């Protein structure tokens, strides 16, 4: 039976205004559209499953509440099926982070006014003991679930809705991945998500025969906006990995014939840390798109796998976007996307920062005056946070959208990422960006990953602390490389773009850096521990250029100095 909605034609369909349009476009498409482990669904079967679930939503979501439901799932076929169902029904999906626990997890579900929660047996234990009044829990793979789906079989797209379907209809409530405070649920409408999918599909030349590998968690905006949406817009297929696995990355890519993937945080570093093989370049990938890989690791990835990584930038909330074009210099993200009026400003005065002065080798020569916060002074697609007017006001100040990210701009207008707003350090009255120091320390051979953050100075301002995760050495069994303070000091001295105030005062050595659920370094955890952590810490005592092991006596002396200047309460924040 054919749906009453517009169906796919032999030629490209007219530009879709909603995600529901994109789902309906695939109704008559019987090519493979989704692969997961040993399962495969056609595009038509995905659209059919979405229509069934949309009808189920119409029967389960109460009419007296916002049309929201939560999804607490790994990257299984159920996730894109429910996203597509939400589009057809006019509902919104709140992506629930399975790494959240207890009251925080309950808060995310209740804050987004979810009256239905879709989960799976693997995550059911997370809900034990939680107070979730008014929330119905539906577990996939159970007899009840199968019975409910069977009762809605044969539904057609557009037959069952819970709210009007249009460009302004909410489809996503996805939590920002901030590491401090309660996460904010950013609103994304069908119009914005469809436009993002079309834009990225066009930018990367996504074809119908492409395969998008989704290994980043789908509760996060990266996987949905930058991977699933462009595949849906272009009629490409998707391949799912339940959870990211560095060791399974290349086997998956080959098995699925994947041509495109997205990444965030340290995913690229984890892949690079897997053992090299002579056939690493034997893979179908064309491009990887993401953020925070860093220029050094992007180069290593291209050399090893023959795949270019495109570093992009777009705030999760949609308020600002930078587009990489031909001719973008190494290290730069790109220029402002069409329609944006981006500026790098002093966050205190709002005055525009002067252009960066770059040395022939790309070193930033005037970082303290060129680095500022990126703002969008024009009209942006920021759609606000759900039930959080204070957060809305903090983003939109003086008619501008404030990204909270640090950048600098070269004389030609190319923008360079310099860190997050909370990654700023002030050392001896000089403003520094943690990301700039991290990019330099990433060259240190034994380090697999690096994080830089501030620790309060005992008297005023900050001091630089670096955390290094060292790779395996040559010893039998792959034991970790021992930290060599002399070698590290010599490395620092050889870096032409490492200013004297950038040199770490403290160096923490640990086997693996803590990360958030989206593989971004969890700097808040590192910052709270500071030099009072259980891992080995090396430091440069005042007046010394050499590193030595921080002892209990050293810590006691430091803490006494903090107390003497009434700054001990700043530690651990």
- List pLDDT tens digits, range 397-423: 999 999 988 899 999 999 988 766 667
pLDDT of amino acid 99 = 81
Whether 434-570 and 19-197 are alike in CATH topology: the answer is no
Can you give the residue ranges of every domain in the chain? 19-197, 339-423, 434-570
Q: What is the pTM of this model?
A: 0.79
Task: Report pLDDT for 472.
Answer: 63
CA 187/CA 225 separation, integer angstroms: 12
Alpha carbon distance 176, 191 (integer Å): 20
At 160-182, the pLDDT tens digits run 999 999 999 999 999 875 434 57
308: left (phi over 0), alpha (psi -120 to 50) or beta: beta
For the segment(s) 339-423, the CATH number from 2.30.38.10, 3.40.630.10, 3.30.930.10, 1.25.60.10 is: 2.30.38.10
Superfamily of chain region 434-570: ANL, C-terminal domain (3.30.300.30)
DSSP-based helix, strand, coil % in the chain, nearest 5: 30, 25, 45
* HSE value, Cβ hemisphere, 13 Å, CA-based, for 403: 32
Over the chain, what is the mean pLDDT? 89
Write the class of the CATH domain 19-197.
alpha beta
Q: What pLDDT, on the 0 to 100 scale, is given for residue 170?
A: 98
Residue 547's contacts (CB-CB under 8 Å, 6 or more residues apart) are 485, 488, 489, 507, 538, 539, 540
Query: Facing residues of 344 across strands?
Result: 374
Residues of the chain with pLDDT under 70: 1-16, 177-181, 419-422, 428-431, 460, 472-481, 565-566, 569, 573
Give me the pLDDT at residue 396, please. Answer: 94
Task: Provide the pairing of β-strand 185-189 with 211-214.
Answer: unpaired
The pLDDT value recorded for residue 424 is: 72
Instruction: Give the integer Cα–Cα distance in Å for 144 and 361.
Output: 63
What pLDDT shows up at residue 109? Answer: 98
- Asked if 512 contacts 538 with a C-beta cutoff of 8 angstroms, the reply is no
């Amino acid at each position: 039976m054919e749906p009453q909605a517009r169906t796919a034609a032999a030629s490209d369909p007219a530009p879709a205004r909603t995600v529901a349009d994109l789902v309906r476009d695939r109704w008559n498409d019987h090519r493979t559209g989704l692969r997961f482990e040993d399962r495969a669904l056609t595009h038509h079967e995905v659209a059919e499953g979405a229509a069934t679930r949309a009808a189920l939503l119409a029967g389960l979501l109460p009419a007296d509440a916002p049309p929201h439901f939560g999804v607490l799932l790994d990257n299984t076929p159920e996730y894109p099926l429910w996203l597509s169902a939400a589009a057809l029904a006019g509902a919104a999906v709140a992506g629930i982070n399975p790494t959240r626990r207890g009251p925080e997890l309950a808060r995310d579900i209740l804050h987004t006014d979810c009256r239905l929660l879709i989960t799976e047996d693997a995550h059911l234990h997370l809900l034990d003991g939680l107070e979730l009044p008014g929330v119905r829990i539906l577990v996939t793979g159970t007899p009840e679930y199968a019975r409910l789906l069977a009762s809605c079989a044969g539904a057609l797209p557009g037959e069952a809705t819970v709210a009007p379907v249009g460009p302004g209809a909410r489809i996503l409530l996805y939590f920002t991945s901030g590491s401090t405070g309660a996460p904010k649920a950013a609103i994304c409408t069908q119009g914005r998500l469809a436009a993002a999918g079309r834009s990225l599909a066009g930018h990367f030349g996504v074809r119908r025969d492409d395969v998008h590998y989704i290994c980043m968690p789908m509760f996060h905006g990266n996987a949905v906006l930058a991977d699933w949406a462009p595949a849906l817009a272009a009629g490409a297929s998707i391949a799912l990995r339940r959870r990211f696995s560095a060791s399974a990355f290349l086997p998956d890519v080959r098995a699925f014939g994947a041509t495109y993937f997205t990444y965030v945080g340290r995913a690229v570093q984890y892949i690079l840390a897997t053992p090299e093989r002579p056939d690493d370049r034997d893979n179908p990938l064309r491009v990887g798109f993401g953020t925070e890989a860093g220029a050094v690791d992007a180069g290593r990835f291209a050399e090893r796998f023959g795949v270019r990584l495109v570093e992009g930038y777009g705030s999760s909330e949609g308020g600002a976007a930078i587009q990489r074009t031909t001719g973008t210099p190494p290290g730069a993200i790109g220029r402002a996307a069409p329609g944006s009026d981006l500026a790098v400003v002093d966050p205190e005065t709002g005055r525009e920062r002067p252009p960066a002065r770059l040395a022939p080798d790309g070193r930033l020569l005037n970082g303290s005056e060129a680095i500022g916060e990126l703002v969008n002074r024009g009209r942006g697609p920021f759609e606000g946070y759900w039930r959080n007017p204070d957060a809305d006001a903090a983003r939109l100040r003086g008619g501008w959208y404030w990204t909270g990210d640090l950048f600098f701009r070269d004389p030609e207008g190319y923008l360079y990422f310099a860190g997050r707003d909370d990654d700023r350090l002030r050392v001896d009255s000089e403003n520094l960006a943690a990301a700039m120091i991290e990019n330099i320390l990433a060259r240190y051979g034994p380090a697999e990953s690096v994080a830089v953050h501030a620790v309060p100075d005992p008297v005023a301002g900050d001091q630089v602390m670096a955390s290094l995760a060292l790779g395996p050495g040559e010893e039998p069994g792959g034991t970790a490389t021992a930290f060599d303070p002399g070698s590290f000091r010599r490395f620092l001295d050889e870096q032409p773009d490492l200013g004297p105030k950038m040199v770490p005062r403290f160096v923490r050595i640990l086997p693996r850096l803590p990360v958030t659920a989206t593989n971004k370094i969890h700097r808040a955890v590192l910052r709270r521990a500071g030099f009072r952590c259980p891992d080995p810490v090396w430091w440069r005592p005042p007046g010394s250029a050499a590193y030595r092991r921080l002892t209990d006596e050293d810590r006691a002396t430091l803490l006494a100095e903090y107390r003497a200047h009434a700054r001990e309460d700043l530690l651990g924040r």
